[in-house]
Structure 1
Amino acid sequence: MAVLDLRPVPVTTSPVRRLPQLLGGLTLYGVSMGLMIRSGLGLDPWDVLHQALSLRTGLTFGTVTAIVGVLVLLCWIPIRQRPGIGTVANIVVVAAAVDVTLALLPAPSALWVRILLLVAGVVGNGLATAAYIGVRLGAGPRDGLMTGFSERTKLSIRVVRTGIELTALGTGWLLGGTVGVGTVVYALAIGPLTQAFLPHVVWRMKGHDAVLADRGGPVAT
Structure 2
Amino acid sequence: MSTPGHIGRRLLQLYVGLTLYGVSSALLVASGLGLEPWGVLHQGLARRTGLSIGEVAIIVGAAVLLLWIPLRLRPGLGTVSNVFLIGLSLDATLALLPAAHSLLARVPLMFAGILLNGLATGLYIAARFGPGPRDGLMTGLHQRTGRSIRLMRTVIEVSVVVTGFVLGGTIGVGTVLYALSIGPLAQFFLRVFALPSESSGRIVAGRTPGRAILRR
- So what's the TM-score if we normalise by structure 2? 0.92
SS at match of 1:138: coil
Distance change (3 Å), C-alpha of 1:13 and 1:148: farther
Aligned mate of 1:46, from 18, 29, 38? 38
Q: Could you tell me how far 1:218 is from its partner in structure 2?
A: 4.4
Q: Could you tell me how far 1:202 is from its partner in structure 2?
A: 1.6
Separation of aligned partners in 1, 2:3 and 2:52 = 31
User: What's 2:178 paired with?
Assistant: 186
Aligned mate of 2:198, from 203, 206, 219? 206
Q: Does 1:59 align with 2:31?
A: no
Task: Calculate percent identity across the aligned residue pairs.
Answer: 52
Contact 1:146 1:164 in 2 (8 A): yes
**Unaligned ranges ≥5, structure 2:** none
User: What's 1:35 paired with?
Assistant: 27
User: What's 1:151 paired with?
Assistant: 143
Specify the code of the residue in structure 2 equivalent to 1:37: V
User: What's 1:129 paired with?
Assistant: 121
Kindly indicate which of the two structures has a greater share of residues assigned to helix.
2
Separation of aligned partners in 2, 1:182 and 1:193 = 15
Q: Does 1:219 align with 2:177?
A: no
Q: How does 1:8-23 map to 2 (within 5 A)?
A: 14-23=6-15
Specify the code of the residue in structure 2 equivalent to 1:44: E
Distance change (3 Å), C-alpha of 1:204 and 1:146: farther
Contact 1:133 1:220 in 2 (8 A): no
Distance change (3 Å), C-alpha of 1:86 and 1:212: closer
**Unaligned ranges ≥5, structure 1:** 1-8
Distance change (3 Å), C-alpha of 1:91 and 1:211: closer
Q: Does 1:196 align with 2:188?
A: yes
Q: Could you tell me how far 1:174 is from its partner in structure 2?
A: 1.1
Runs of 4+ with deviation above 4 angstroms: 9-13, 211-218
Separation of aligned partners in 2, 1:184 and 1:201 = 26
Aligned mate of 2:104, from 102, 112, 121? 112
User: What's 2:62 paired with?
Assistant: 70
Separation of aligned partners in 2, 1:193 and 1:113 = 23
Contact 2:139 2:212 in 1 (8 A): no
SS at match of 2:214: coil
Q: Cα RMSD over matched residues?
A: 2.4
Specify the code of the residue in structure 2 equivalent to 1:132: Y
- So what's the TM-score if we normalise by structure 1? 0.90
Specify the code of the residue in structure 2 equivalent to 1:31: V
User: What's 1:4 paired with?
Assistant: none
* Greater RCO, 1 or 2 (C-alpha within 8 Å, sep 6+): 1
Q: Could you tell me how far 1:112 is from its partner in structure 2?
A: 1.6
Aligned mate of 1:141, from 133, 143, 160? 133
Separation of aligned partners in 1, 2:193 and 2:66 = 30
How many corresponding residue pairs? 213
